[in-house]
């Protein structure tokens, strides 16, 4: 008889590992290998040497394959457990988050056969290169605008992270908005520069669509097209109203109204529009589930604003209202982190996301051939020069038919 009332019963304790399971050894110790070889030779004494060798190789290959499959299965189970934790109220504890992000980054680098010792030395080399000075000037400019939530970050460390990434991936180099990403990563990784660099690489190259931050930003432009298409199906009243405020497509010289805000959300992965508690939880989902979480999060945010935006009668009134709405989002007055993640999870993965992205990417004209070029800047810092403002909208081709 179990006396629960008197405290004699102790429920079983659940053990949960913060770290992913270690990869299983493909081969055993020399002693075990020799024992297996002897057993094999004994059981196949009637066979020829060639036949024995063939059988041994076959069994060894089969054992290796099974070990690899077991290791992958263990890792996937651990990752699924992390995903469930990210969905729970309260989300990922900080000690889980750092381990999770680093494990995902390490796995990605290993899959790409990156020699991290060599790359780390290149990234953090004290000797400056030809392009480092120009990059350093731009980075320092942007560091002054790193959000107030992230001001505690050591700016010298952040500069090394951003310059290091530009060295690692010269094709992307440094882009405005990276300061926000780098600062948040550095904060989560407890200011460890090498770990932060790994996560930065995984985020930009392993999670976000190709071309989000380089060239004509084709990946980002495609996602804006995908988002407008999703709005038509998920938020049809809002999409129709915004098009009405925009005016006839053939006379539209500006980007779609949603671009001015949504593009900044995507460029900074919501660092500038949500409280830090929400941002961290969105990032957990992005790193675990993939970049379609960005689109799902944006859909949730616009759904929160829908009724208020529907009351706007002109585009000018829309911009005025969005200024106050953005402040409410940033201050956490419209939704808390639990409510936000619950809605994002309820939306579920976006069906055929890659097909949607490919379709919109196909229709993108190279940046140099765009007409009606319009850049919209964050007006929070009127004293700074125009170059140093963060561009929050993309080019607009007035002759191109929109996906409305």
Q: Would residue 284 count as lying in a domain? A: yes
- Here the tokens at position 137 are 């000037």
In a domain, 311, yes or no: yes
- 193 conformational bin, left if phi > 0, alpha if psi -120 to 50, beta if neither: alpha
Q: Where are the alpha helices (DSSP H) in 335-378?
A: 337-347, 353-362
Does a structural domain hold residue 359? yes
Note whether residue 53 is domain-resident: no
Q: Of 391, 374, 393, which Cα lies nearest the Cα of 176?
A: 391
Residue 39, in any domain of the structure: no
Do 295 and 352 lie in one domain? The reply is: yes
Residues 289 and 197 in one domain: no
Q: Is 397 exposed, middle or buried (0-12, 13-18, 19+ CB in 10 A)?
A: middle
Q: Specify whether 328 is located in the same domain as 254.
A: yes
How far apart are the C-alpha atoms of 98 and 320, rounded to whole Å? 39
- In the numeric block, the tokens 């770290």 are attached to 19
Residue 336 and residue 202 in one domain: no
- Regarding whether 364 and 261 lie in a shared domain, the answer is yes
Residue 225 sits in the same domain as residue 348: yes
> What are 293's two structure tokens?
């979480």
CATH of the domain at 192: 1.10.8
Domain shared by 197 and 228, yes or no? no
Question: What CATH code is carried by the domain that includes residue 281?
Answer: 1.10.472.80
Q: Does residue 98 belong to any structural domain of this protein?
A: no
The gap from C-alpha 128 to its chain's centroid, in whole angstroms, comes to 30
Range of the domain at 363: 218-388
pLDDT tens series, the chain, 404 aa: 444 333 433 434 445 566 676 655 433 444 444 444 455 454 455 445 555 555 555 565 665 566 667 677 888 899 999 999 999 999 999 989 999 999 999 999 999 999 999 999 999 988 777 677 777 777 887 777 655 455 456 788 998 999 999 999 988 888 878 988 999 999 999 999 999 999 999 999 999 998 898 877 889 999 999 999 999 999 999 999 998 998 765 555 567 888 889 999 999 999 989 999 999 999 999 999 999 999 999 999 999 999 999 999 998 999 999 988 988 999 989 999 999 999 999 999 999 999 999 999 887 755 444 433 333 333 333 333 333 334 433 333 333 433 43
Q: Of the candidates 153, 187, 207, which is a domain's last residue? A: 207
For residue 384, is it within any domain? Answer: yes
Distance CA 12, CA 17 (A): 16
- Is the CB of residue 261 less than 8 Å from the CB of residue 171? no
367 and 256: one domain?
Answer: yes
Residues 182 and 224 in one domain: no
If asked whether residues 308 and 272 sit together in one domain, one would say yes
| CA–CA dist 320, 241 (Å, integer) | 16
Q: 38 — alpha (psi -120 to 50), left (phi > 0) or beta?
A: alpha
- How many domains, in total, are found in the chain? 2
Q: Are residues 326 and 234 in the same domain?
A: yes
Alpha-carbon distance of 278 to 325, in angstroms, equals: 16
Domain assignment present for 323: yes
Q: Are 38 and 56 in contact (CB under 8 A)?
A: no
Whether residue 233 is found in the same domain as residue 377: yes
């Amino acid at each position: 008889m179990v006396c629960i009332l008197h405290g004699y019963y102790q429920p079983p304790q659940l053990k949960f590992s913060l770290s992913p399971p270690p990869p299983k050894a493909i081969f055993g110790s020399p002693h075990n290998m020799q024992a297996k070889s002897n057993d094999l030779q004994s059981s196949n004494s009637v066979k020829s040497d060639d036949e024995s060798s063939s059988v041994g190789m076959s069994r060894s290959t089969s054992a290796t394959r099974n070990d690899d499959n077991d290791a992958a299965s263990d890792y996937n189970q651990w990752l699924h457990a992390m995903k469930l934790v990210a969905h729970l109220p309260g989300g990922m504890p900080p000690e889980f988050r750092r381990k999770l992000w680093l494990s995902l980054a390490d796995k990605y680098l290993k899959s790409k056969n990156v020699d991290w010792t060599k790359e780390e030395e290149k990234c953090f080399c004290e000797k400056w290169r030809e392009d480092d000075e120009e990059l350093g000037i731009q980075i320092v400019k942007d560091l002054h605008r790193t959000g107030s939530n992230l001001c505690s970050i050591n700016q010298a460390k952040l500069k090394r992270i951003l310059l290091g990434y530009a060295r690692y991936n010269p094709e992307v180099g440094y882009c405005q908005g990276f300061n926000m990403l780098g600062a948040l990563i550095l904060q989560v990784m407890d200011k460890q520069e090498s770990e932060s660099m790994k996560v930065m690489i995984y985020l930009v190259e392993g999670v976000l669509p190709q071309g989000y931050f380089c060239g004509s930003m084709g990946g980002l432009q495609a996602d804006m097209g995908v988002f407008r298409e999703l709005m038509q199906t998920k938020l049809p009243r809002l999409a129709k109203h915004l098009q009405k405020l925009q005016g006839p497509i053939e006379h539209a010289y500006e980007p779609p109204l949603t671009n001015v805000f949504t593009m900044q959300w995507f460029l900074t992965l919501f660092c500038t529009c949500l409280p830090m508690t929400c941002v961290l939880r969105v990032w957990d989902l992005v790193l675990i589930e993939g970049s379609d979480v960005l689109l799902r999060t944006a859909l949730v945010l616009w759904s929160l604003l829908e009724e208020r935006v529907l009351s706007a009668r002109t585009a000018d009134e829309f911009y005025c209202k969005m200024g106050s709405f953005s402040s409410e989002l940033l201050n956490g007055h419209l939704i808390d982190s639990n409510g936000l993640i619950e809605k994002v999870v309820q939306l579920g993965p976006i069906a055929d996301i890659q097909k949607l992205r490919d379709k919109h990417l196909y229709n993108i004209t190279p940046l140099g051939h765009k007409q009606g070029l319009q850049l919209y800047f964050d007006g929070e810092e009127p004293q700074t020069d125009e170059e140093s403002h963060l561009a929050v909208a993309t080019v607009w081709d007035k002759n191109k038919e929109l996906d409305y």
